[in-house]
């Protein structure tokens, strides 16, 4: 069994309005993506890491890989205009079989814990496909300018990553998405559209995605050297 990790790193970070995409920002001397990559490098069960990124940043990524001795990073592949296309490029490179497990994780979720990663891998081995998520604690509703419907938070989740899939299932999911001209917001959505069951793995509020200046400040406060 081979376990591969795909890190889509094509985001531009427009919401934070920084000179570099947020995944390449240095926080206390270390790029955000380096924190993320190191989290997976340390998991012995993982065989390889593939990064999908804008080729403009390949040289920077190569420097990061060398600096932190990220020996499990095997390939850099060109990212697409959308996350889905970036991940698909990596999937095509891996060409996984039914014996493969593929993890997909956001470059800007740098605080993912070893427990979450290992729990997700275990869930995929036992159930085929799995997604990390946390149960909603807030009251949630649907609407545009006005509230139209309240959602039951008891069975509503905030989706996180990693998302972990059987190699054949994720390949078939992308084939169907292309055939249907469907663009999803994450990979679990594509796999679910193929009729596959997806097991829910408990995540953590610390496994947040850095998308705003507030997120960036929170991350800084959590990793600040003591």
The reported pLDDT for the residue numbered 10 is 82
The region that residue 13 occupies, defined by phi over 0 for left and psi between -120 and 50 for alpha, beta otherwise, is: left
The reported pLDDT for the residue numbered 97 is 86
The reported pLDDT for the residue numbered 14 is 61
Positive or negative CA dihedral for 75, 8, 70, 160?
negative
| CATH class held by domain 2-223 | alpha beta
Q: Which helix (H) or strand (E) holds 170?
A: helix 167-180
The reported pLDDT for the residue numbered 16 is 62
The pLDDT averaged over each successive group of 10 residues in the chain (226 residues) is 95 68 96 99 98 96 98 96 94 91 98 99 97 95 94 94 97 96 96 97 98 95 93
Domain ranges of the chain: 2-223
CA distance 218 to 226: 15
Query: What b-and-e string marks burial along 150-183, b requiring 16 or more CB atoms within 10 Å of the CB?
Result: eeeeeeeebebbbbbbbbebbbbbbeebeeeeee
CA–chain centroid gap for 139, Å, is 26
Q: Which two tokens stand for residue 31?
A: 């790029």
The reported pLDDT for the residue numbered 17 is 64
Q: Which two tokens stand for residue 213?
A: 């200046």
Range 74-77, long-range pairs (CB < 8 A, 24+ positions): 74/48, 74/49, 74/50, 75/48, 75/50, 75/51, 76/50, 76/51, 76/52, 77/50, 77/51, 77/52, 77/53
The reported pLDDT for the residue numbered 12 is 65
């Amino acid at each position: 069994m081979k376990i591969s990790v795909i890190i889509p790193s094509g985001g531009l970070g427009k919401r934070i309005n920084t000179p570099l995409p947020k995944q390449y920002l240095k926080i206390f001397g270390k790029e955000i993506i380096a924190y993320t990559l190191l989290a997976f490098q340390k998991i012995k069960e993982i065989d390889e890491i593939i990064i999908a990124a804008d080729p403009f940043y390949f040289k920077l990524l190569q420097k990061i890989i060398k600096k932190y001795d990220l020996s499990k990073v095997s390939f850099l592949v060109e990212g697409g205009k959308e996350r889905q296309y970036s991940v698909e490029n990596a999937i095509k490179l891996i060409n996984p079989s039914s014996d493969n497990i593929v993890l997909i994780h956001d470059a800007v979720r740098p605080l993912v814990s070893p427990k979450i990663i290992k729990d997700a891998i275990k869930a995929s081995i036992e159930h085929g496909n799995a997604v990390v998520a946390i149960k909603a604690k807030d009251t949630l509703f649907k609407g545009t300018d006005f509230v139209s419907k309240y959602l039951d938070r008891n069975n509503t989740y905030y989706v996180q990553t990693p998302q972990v899939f059987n190699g054949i299932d994720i390949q078939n999911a992308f084939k169907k998405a292309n055939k249907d001209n469907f663009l999803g917001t994450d990979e679990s959505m594509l796999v679910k559209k193929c009729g596959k069951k997806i097991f829910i793995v408990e995540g953590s509020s610390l496994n947040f995605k850095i998308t705003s200046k507030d997120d960036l400040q929170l991350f800084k406060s959590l990793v600040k050297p003591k």
